[in-house]
Amino acid sequence: MYELLAVTSTAALLAVTGPDREGVHDWTGAYAGVQIATPVHGRNRWYDPDGDVVNLRQGFSGLHGGVHLGYNHQWNRLVLGAEAEIGHGRFRANAQTDRAPNCVDGCNTEFSTIGAVRARAGYAYGNSLVYAHAGWAVARSRSEQINDDFPGAPAFEVSGTVHGHTWGYGIEHAMNDRVSLRLQYNHMVYRPVSDDTGTERARTRFGTMSVAVNFRF
């Protein structure tokens, strides 16, 4: 979150104090694009049968492809906008550890469909745009704990829709008046998932890097 505040504040300051936008690409307008993403890190917080919390760094793997739609408005060098995206694929993390009774034989998490609605703030320079973003995230997920050795800690599986928040930053470069390429980091934090008794079992956060091609209307 501190990185997000720093990038946003810097963009706003440069937009106000920087030179005029002569020679700067005009980012105002609606756009649509396609993206592909891969996870770069992850952490799961698992709750064992006694209510203790175990934080596990888990290596997520997989690919996600999707589409997005957004709008930007530019004042001098300051660019503000909003974007919605939806993607589908498979992000999966597996872990085996004796730090938590339910994870001795495996603690697994999988995400299929992922969506987000974000606000963006950036600074335009030449044909490039450096920006930060933050917003709401939603996903279809499945979490399971496998346990064959602890009778008092039965395995469980929970699947459904999870909600949370997302933030990140990126850089976009205009190839011409209609087409641009971008590289973006996304950090997602989802609320805990619960079993059939309402007991919280797992909470997931992870980061992704995505590349995208955008087309202006």
Percent of the chain past pLDDT 70, that is, above it, reads 72
The pLDDT confidence band at residue 48, using thresholds 50, 70 and 90, is low
pTM value surpassing 0.85: no
Q: Quick one: three-class SS letters along the chain?
A: CHHHHHHHHHHHHHHHHCCCCCCCCCCCEEEEEEEEEEEEEEEEEEECCCCCEEEEECCCEEEEEEEEEEEEEEECCEEEEEEEEEEEEEEEEEECCCCCHHHCCCEEEEEEEEEEEEEEEEEEECCEEEEEEEEEEEEEEEEEECCCCCCCCCCEEEEEEEEEEEEEEEEEEECCCCEEEEEEEEEEEECCEECCCCCEEEEEEEEEEEEEEEEEC
pLDDT tens digits for 69-110?
A: 999 999 999 999 999 999 999 998 876 666 666 666 777 888
Give the pLDDT of residue 11: 43
> In the chain, what are the domains?
2-216 (2.40.160.20)
pLDDT at position 144 is: 79
Higher pLDDT, 216 or 8: 216
Q: Return the higher-pLDDT residue of 51 and 33.
A: 33
